[in-house]
Amino acid sequence: MAPVTRPLFDPPIVRRAVRDAFRKLDLRHMVRNPVMFVVLVGSVLTTLVLARDLIEGRTAIGFTLQIALWLWFTVVFANFAEAMAEGRGKAQADTLRRSRSQTLAKKLDDPRERTRTRSVGAAELRRGDVVLCQPGDLIPGDGEVIEGVASVDESAITGESAPVIRESGGDRSAVTGGTRVLSDFLVVRITANPGETFLDRMIGLVEGAKRQKTPNEIALIILLSGLTIVFLLAVVTLQPFAIYSGGAVSIPILVALLVCLIPTTIGGLLSAIGIAGMDRMIQHNVIAMSGRAVEAAGDVDTLLLDKTGTITLGNRQAVAFVPADGVPPQALADAAQLASLADETPEGRSIVVLAKTGYGLRERDITGLGASFIPFSAQTRLSGVNVDGRRIRKGASDAIEAFVSEQGGTTPSGVRAAVEAIAREGGTPLVVAEGGRTLGVIHLKDIVKGGIKERFAELRRMGIKTVMITGDNPLTAAAVAAEAGVDDFLAQAKPEDKMALIKREQAGGRLVAMTGDGTNDAPALAQADVAVAMNSGTQAAKEAGNLIDLDSNPTKLIEVVEIGKQLLITRGSLTTFSIANDVAKYFAIIPAMFMATYPALQALNIMRLHSAESAILSAVVFNALIIIALIPLALRGVRWRPAPASTILRRNLWIYGVGGILIPFAGIKVLDVLLTLLHLA
C-alpha cells in the first residue's frame, strides 16, 4: 500500500461520510455511545413536543423547531465525525482490495514435482497447500518459502518499490499474498486460509470493522456517562426547584440545557479520535493490530533498540590505519587495500575507500593483478590476498598473531597496545600482516546515525528510557552507547537475555517497546507491551508483534511512540475542552430560563445576550457547531513537541482548559448577535 496523503476533507470521503452520518442514527449504533444516545433521546422528546404544539395549533413554534433541528444536527454531526474518520480508512481499504484481485495459483500436488502444476483460484487455496510462483506471478496467499530464492516486489503492501529477496529457510522466508515475484521462482507453502490472510486482516483493521474499544476509551466513556448522569440529575431536579420558585420550565428548554451540559464535544469525537490514531499509524506504514497497541505506545517507558540498523548504520567502517613501529603508514594502507579489494562486505569496501581518500591509493583492478584471494572463513577468522609472492592477511588480532607466528614472526607490543586501545574505544581492530611481519591495525568503527542522539535526548525529556541491544562485547557496546546517548545497553545479548530484560523492566512497572524480525525474537515480541514486527521478518515474528512496520525500518519505533502519545494528548485535550465549555453555557441558559420568575437573575447574563430565546438557541447552536469545528483537530491530532510532561500539561491546559472556558463565551455571544440579526430568535 503506497503511503497516501489524502486531503482532510477529500470530497468522495465527505460524500460517503454524510451518507453514513444518517445511517448511524440506527439505535443499535447509538446505544454504544451513552452521551450521544442521551442527545438522541432529547431530540426525539423535543420533536414530540413540537408535534404536539403543531397539532394543538400553538403559535411561536419557531423556537421549538429550531431547538429540535439543532439537537438533531448535534447527533448527526457526531456521527459525521466518526464516519469521516472511518471513511479515510475505508478508502485505503479499497486500494488494498484491488491488489487482492482474482489470482490464479499454480498448485503443486507434489512439492517435489515442480513441473506438474494445476491451475486453481487463489480463493480455493487452503493452509498447507503448496504453490509454485514464477516471474510475473502474484503470490496467491500468505505463505512460507520452502524452496528457491527470488526477488519479490512487495510495493502493493509496503509502498516500497525496491524489490526484496525471499528465500527458503532463515528469517526471510515469509511471503505475503498480493506481492509479485520478479525473478527466479519460489515454492510456497500456504499458511493462511482465504479471509484470514495478512491482506484480509489489514483491510479489516484499516476499515475499522473489527475495532474494539481500548481500555482507556472504556474508562473515558464511564467518566463521560457518569458526568451525563450528574447533569441529568441537575436538570431533572431543576424542574421541582422551578415549580417551587413559581414557574415550571418547558421541556425543550430543559433538554437544551441538558444537551449543552453533557460532554457532547468529546462524546461525539471520541471514536473519531481513536480511529484517526490508527489511521495515522497506517500513514506511517505501520499497521496496528489493535487500538490497544496504539494506546500502549503512548505509555511506553522503556525502548529496546537493536544497535545495528536503528542506532548505527548497518555496518562498521574503517576510520583509521594505525601502523606498527617502523612501518610507513602508506605501506599499511597499501596492504590493507590489497587485502580488501575482493572483500565485498561493507567493512571491506570502507577499507578500500579509506585508503583511497586518506592515502591517495587508487583502487586497483583485481583481475589485472593476477592475485589469488583468501576468503574469510569461520575457522581461520581471517581473509587476504596472495599477490606477487606477498602473503597479505587481515583479521582478528589473535588470528593474525597465530598466522604471523606460523610464518616465524612475532607481534610487536605496539600493535597489541593499539588493538587494546581501539577495543577500549568501542571500535573493532583488524590487524594486517604481510608474511611474518605485522604491519599495523585498521580501526573499524560503528557509525552512529546522524540525529539519533538528539532523538534519544527528546525521548529522555519525555521520560522514556532507551536501551541498546547488541551482540557486541560490553566494551564496544559501552562506547557506542555513550556516543549515541542511550541510557543503557545490553551487550552480548542472546534472545534469553532480551526476554529477561523485558521481564525485569515490566516487573518494575514499566511498559516496554521493541522491534524484531527473526523467529528467535518472537518470544520477546510476545512479551513486550508494544512489539513492532518488521514486515520483512518471519511469520512467527509478525504473529507475535502487535504492530507491523511495512517499511521494516527499526527507527520507526520512535515514531510509533509519538503517534501513540499524540492520540492520548488529543483525547485528553478535547475532554478538558469539553468539560470547561460548560461554564459559559450555564451563564447563557440559567438566566434565560428564569427570566420570567426572577428577573433579577439577569445579573448572571454576563454576556448580555439579546433575549431568553436567543440565549438558549445560541448555546445549543454553539454546542452543535463546535463538534464540526473540532473534526479536523480530532482527525489530525493535537500538535505537540516532545517535552517533559509538566511542559506539555501547562501548554495544553492553557489552550484547552482556559481556552475551553473562554471560547464559548465569545462563540455564544457572536451566535447571539447573528441569530438576532437574522431574526431567528
Tell which positions 221-250 bind another protein, by CB under 8 A: 222-223, 225-227, 229-231, 233-245
Separation between Cα atoms, residue 196 and residue 178, nearest integer Å:
13
Are the C-beta atoms of residues 619 and 260 closer than 8 Å to each other?
Answer: yes
Separation between Cα atoms, residue 463 and residue 661, nearest integer Å:
30
How distant, in Å, are the alpha carbons of 164, 239, 361 from that of 349?
22, 84, 14
Q: Which of 536, 566, 614, 618 binds another protein (CB under 8 A)?
A: 566
Are the C-beta atoms of residues 202 and 175 closer than 8 Å to each other?
Answer: no
Separation between Cα atoms, residue 328 and residue 87, nearest integer Å:
69
Residue 517, helix vs strand vs coil: coil
Does 644 contact another protein by CB under 8 A? Answer: yes
165 to 224, contacts with another protein by CB under 8 A? Answer: 215-216, 218-220, 222-223
529 part of the active site = no
Q: Which of 565, 631, 672, 681 binds another protein (CB under 8 A)?
A: 565
> Which CB sits closer to another protein, 165 or 457?
457
Tell the smallest beta-carbon distance from residue 450 to another protein (Å): 25
Does 559 contact another protein by CB under 8 A? Answer: no
Number of neighbours of residue 503 by Cβ within 10 angstroms: 13
The separation between CA 65 and the C-alpha centre of its own chain, rounded to angstroms, equals 46
Residues 6+ apart with CB under 8 A from 555: 309, 310, 449, 452
> Which CB sits closer to another protein, 320 or 661?
661
Are the C-beta atoms of residues 512 and 530 closer than 8 Å to each other?
Answer: yes
Q: Which of 152, 448, 579, 675 binds another protein (CB under 8 A)?
A: 579
| Residue with cell string 511506553 | 300
Q: Which long-range contacts (CB under 8 A, 24 or more apart) does 236-245 make?
A: 242/593, 242/594, 242/597, 245/594, 245/597, 245/598
Q: Which of 312, 546, 575, 614 binds another protein (CB under 8 A)?
A: 575
437 to 466, contacts with another protein by CB under 8 A? Answer: 460-465
Helix, strand, coil tally for the chain in percent (to 5): 55, 15, 30
Does 640 contact another protein by CB under 8 A? Answer: yes
Are the C-beta atoms of residues 433 and 439 closer than 8 Å to each other?
Answer: yes
- For residue 227, give the C-alpha cell: 458526568
Nearest one of 499, 527, 509, 456 to 307, comparing CA atoms: 456
275 to 304, contacts with another protein by CB under 8 A? Answer: 295, 298-299, 301
Does 572 contact another protein by CB under 8 A? Answer: yes
| Residue with cell string 430568535 | 681
Given 137, 306, 529, 549, the catalytic residue: 306
Q: Stretches 10-18, 19-27, 140-148, 598-606: which one binds another protein (CB under 8 A)?
A: 598-606
255 to 274, contacts with another protein by CB under 8 A? Answer: 261
Residue 654, helix vs strand vs coil: helix
Residues 6+ apart with CB under 8 A from 504: none
Q: Stretches 307-315, 339-347, 386-394, 653-661: which one binds another protein (CB under 8 A)?
A: 653-661
Q: Stretches 42-50, 146-154, 434-442, 564-572: which one binds another protein (CB under 8 A)?
A: 564-572
Tell the smallest beta-carbon distance from residue 548 to another protein (Å): 22
Nearest one of 595, 593, 579 to 664, comparing CA atoms: 579
- For residue 334, give the C-alpha cell: 597499501
Does 108 contact another protein by CB under 8 A? Answer: no
Separation between Cα atoms, residue 624 and residue 75, nearest integer Å:
8
Q: Stretches 112-120, 139-147, 445-453, 651-659: which one binds another protein (CB under 8 A)?
A: 651-659
Strand arrangement of the beta sheet that strand 530-534 belongs to: 286-288, 547-549, 530-534, 512-516, 302-306, 465-469, 488-490
498 to 557, contacts with another protein by CB under 8 A? Answer: 508-511
Q: Which of 3, 185, 586, 662 binds another protein (CB under 8 A)?
A: 586
378 to 397, contacts with another protein by CB under 8 A? Answer: none
Tell the smallest beta-carbon distance from residue 493 to another protein (Å): 23
Residue 594, helix vs strand vs coil: coil
Tell the smallest beta-carbon distance from residue 509 to another protein (Å): 4
Total of residues contacting another protein (CB under 8 A) = 74
Tell the smallest beta-carbon distance from residue 459 to another protein (Å): 9
Does 582 contact another protein by CB under 8 A? Answer: yes
Q: Which of 8, 583, 606, 670 binds another protein (CB under 8 A)?
A: 583
Does 649 contact another protein by CB under 8 A? Answer: yes
Catalytic residue IDs: 306
